[in-house]
Chain A
Amino acid sequence: MDIDYILQLEDISKYFGSVIALNGVTLRLKRGEVHCLLGDNGAGKSTLIKTLAGVHLPDKGEYLVDGRPVRFQSPREALDLGIATVYQDLALVPLMSVARNFFMGREPRRKLLGSFHVMDHELAARTAIEKLAEMGIKVRDASQVVGTMSGGERQCLAIARAIHFGARVLILDEPTAALGVKQSVNVLKLINRARAKGISVIFITHNVNYAYPVGDTFTLLNRGKSLGTFAKRAVAKDEVLDMMAGGAEMKELMADLEGVSI
């Protein structure tokens, strides 16, 4: 293989009983690229992410990380290889502070009086503020509870956390789905920043308008199958949109909406 892929799914299939969730999907992530995974609802995006994240084992096909085949038994194993998934729910606790959330499950510790292990709140606060600042979010007080933050800021916190804990591959599950336009743009900037840091990103969305500006490569899923992978220069936005919705179908759908054009 000539190209340096950090992560590959080769001809992956996943079945849930009689339902074919994924049918021979191939997805190859180059090191340091932003790879957009596009698909309408029910296209199999979630199953694909969960397979990447180590939640599901594929029934057929091969999953390779750094060119080596892997079979993840748990999300933990994927994390250990630097594959971090930021799910839509973000895994943040609104009633806890920024610092506590940032280090949830991986609390830094120091020794108190040489014997007790206590959580190092100063280090946690400093690191959280620093890492969020790198993402363009200014938090003056790390004891501020996450509930007071906007949706975009929370998204940034979750992404900053994943990067801080050694993500080489960042899988973002519809990060813009619950955000306003401005906040969504901030998340797109964040994706650019992550790429600049050398992190490979899989950006799942059903919004071409967001995927197109940041993506290097696009893979389209439809009804459990891949419609192919396209480099940005090889495909126009409208074509992507058409393929996502199944081409002709989209035109028919739109014809019903008088006075609305794509």
Chain B
Amino acid sequence: MSAAGPPRGTNLAPRETAPRRKPHAWGEPTNDPHISNPAASAESPVVPPTDERVRDIGALRRFLSRPEFGSISGAVLVFIVFLLAAGDSGMFSAEGIVNWATVAAFLGIISVGAALLMIGGEFDLSIGSMIGFAGMMLAIPALYWGWPVWVACLFTFALCAALGAVNGYLVIRTGLPSFIVTLAFYFILRGLSLALSTMLTGKTILSNYEGVSLRDLVNGDYLSSTLFSGHVLTGVFNAMAGWGWIAARDGGEALAVGIPKVIVWWLLLTVIGGFVLARTRRGNWILAVGGDATAAKNTGVPVARVKISLFIVTALCAALFAVLQVADAGSAAADRGLQKEFEAIIAAVIGGCLLSGGYGSVVGASIGALIFGMVQIGIGYTSIDNNWYRVFLGAMLLAAVLFNTYIRKRVALGRR
């Protein structure tokens, strides 16, 4: 009670000898420790020359308090481990790097969406199912209905955006945890992918129909071939091969054809996502709705709009993943994207996003995805059994969560 203000008029004087209780027992969670020292109060007449209420945090501590810190140090660690374990195996040759960077890029694309959504205080467990669904929604119209591929692409993106909006709308309107709402869509969309493709085509893996292959359709379409399939910087790679910097084929062309467009998309989305979060009004809104939706609402942030748009962005990321995957594989399958929702969430958590929202980093999530790519592919270059990959993932997730919680307590909220 001591901090409750003078208890209404009751005479406490005789009891002042009671042992001093821990001051501010309940204003405490955030209090600077000096406050227990009465002389340290803000308006105290004894004012030290510097402001005693702000501790000098220091550059190292500042870096430690960055949400990306965990993922950067994790990535460096993983990099060193594989450099030692598989440095001479080709993992770090041009084609090796492109190989694992591509895996990282696919995951990175959905991790950006998942991270933004998580910072905004919500989850989407339906991303993985949506990847399978979106791939089917691209392949069926393109192969069976004769739609131009670019129209089918637009249709896929529009459909996924609508599904994202439905997810978001349901979460906002019902007030239910997004966990449960999107879990429903996790099953609904996976089931729909299988059921619809079986119903419409009799198959669950689509790569060609009546002699026309999906790959040819995608590559024959200007928009989809420009945006989604193939590589960039092929000339540069060939030149580097010519100079003997990287491995070449018999014909003199580089063994690594170039940088796959999925990597370009990944970097682009990371930069845009990071920029929006850190530098724009929309970014401030995302942090606010995730940190405390009521506070955000009371200060005029359009909470519903921000959250629904985050669900849409996440769904669009899943659609982009699917379209790039169809272009890359030349096929669509109803079981694509299995467990990707978890991988994306893990990447976001490794990247420093708090499960409770309001804090995190898009760049961190992308680095989290890079760790995934390195480990998933890198393990094949070593003599380690592939099955250890999942063990590693789980351990990494646990370590990241523990680390995030610790850092948040220690640095971000100033506790010791």
Contact = CB atoms under 8 A, between A and B. Distances in A.
Contacts of B287: 93, 95-96, 100
A181 interface: yes
Given A94-B30, A140-B51, A207-B5, A147 B413 contact: yes
Contacts of A208: 8-9
A130 to B, nearest CB: 15
A103 B27 contact: no
Interface string A147-187: 11111111000000000000000000000111111111110
9 contacts: A89-B298, A90-B295, A93-B292, A139-B54, A149-B30, A150-B42, A183-B27, A189-B43, A261-B11
B5 A176 contact: yes
A199 to B, nearest CB: 19
Contact of A106 (B23, B298, B299): B299
B35 interface: yes
A184 B42 CA distance: 12
Q: How large is the interface on B (under 10, 10 to 19, 20 to 34, 35 or more residues)?
A: 35 or more
B364 to A, nearest CB: 15
Interface string B248-263: 0000000000000000
Contacts of A183: 27, 41
A91 B291 CA distance: 11
B281 interface: yes
B279 A119 contact: yes
B305 interface: no
A145 interface: yes
A182 B8 contact: no
Interface in B278-324: 279-281, 283-285, 287-288, 291-292, 294-296, 298-301
Given A178-B26, A180-B23, A96 B291 contact: yes
Contacts of B6: 181, 207, 209
Interface string B27-48: 1001110010010011100000
B387 interface: no
Nearest to A179: B27
A105 B8 contact: no
Contacts of B408: 95
B42 A153 contact: yes
Interface string B331-368: 00000000000000000000000100011000000000
Contacts of B5: 176-177, 179-181, 184, 207, 209-210
A167 B3 CA distance: 29
Contacts of B43: 136, 185-186, 189
A92 B297 CA distance: 11
Given A103-B284, A189-B43, A260-B11, A150 B54 contact: no
Given A139-B54, A262-B9, A92 B295 contact: yes
Contact of A93 (B27, B281, B358): B358
Given A94-B30, A100-B288, A147-B30, 12 more contacts: A93-B287, A94-B291, A96-B287, A104-B299, A105-B301, A119-B279, A139-B51, A144-B54, A147-B412, A148-B414, A206-B8, A209-B6
B9 A150 contact: no
B390 interface: no
Interface string B382-416: 00000000000000000000000000100011100
Nearest to B359: A95
Given A148-B413, A150-B30, A189-B43, A109 B281 contact: yes
Contacts of A106: 299-300
A148 B32 contact: yes
Contacts of B413: 94-95, 145, 147-148
A96 B300 CA distance: 16
B299 A182 contact: no
B61 interface: no
B10 interface: yes
